Structure 1
């Protein structure tokens, strides 16, 4: 499960995530005013760059925690989301049709695309051979 975090994040990766989250928040806030967004993004980058050479880890950690709190406080109640990402307006709009549907086509329908179905049969055979080589022959439990 790629979405589950299994390791502790380093300080640098937390700072990078904070920067990205701050920029996305600004982008959502100034989405109809691109010049204002660009100005605030440059100011945000300057804020991050002013502390990039901090050697005292206690001060760096406090800056990070303050930045995370500020980002949380200034975040919008309904942040901008990309259309095709989870929560977006077009997420899962186009259903994925599995390839096995093509097996149920009538032979007259398949005859309209002879090269495609000939290549598909060859690839299905190759896939089954690779599967059986890796995992062994499948036993039919229902038979």
Structure 2
């Protein structure tokens, strides 16, 4: 479990859900699940409810990271320094809309990097 704590600390909060989403209190051997973890800033949590509360207490880092990951997927390439203004704008707009996931998605599809997508080959040629 120590390795898991280092590699996937947020995933521990979701450990009560099995592979198909059923709630469980114990692992396959009958041992109680340890659903505690720690955010990168040192905030500790136990379970998904406390994780949610901790993320909502300081939503900007989570929102920025989620935006970066979604934009990376949407673009089909890694982010570049030129994408940073779009990420900041998407995060700012989503914050003004109560951090709604739909605001993130809308911000991504309206963003300049998404509307002016380049293939991986074109991006490499520019760099």
Give the shorter-chain TM-score range: 0.3 to 0.5
Q: Which has the larger radius of gyration?
A: 1
TM-score, length basis structure 2: 0.33
Higher relative contact order (CA 8 A, sep 6+): 1
Structure richer in strand, relative to its length: 2
TM-score, length basis structure 1: 0.30
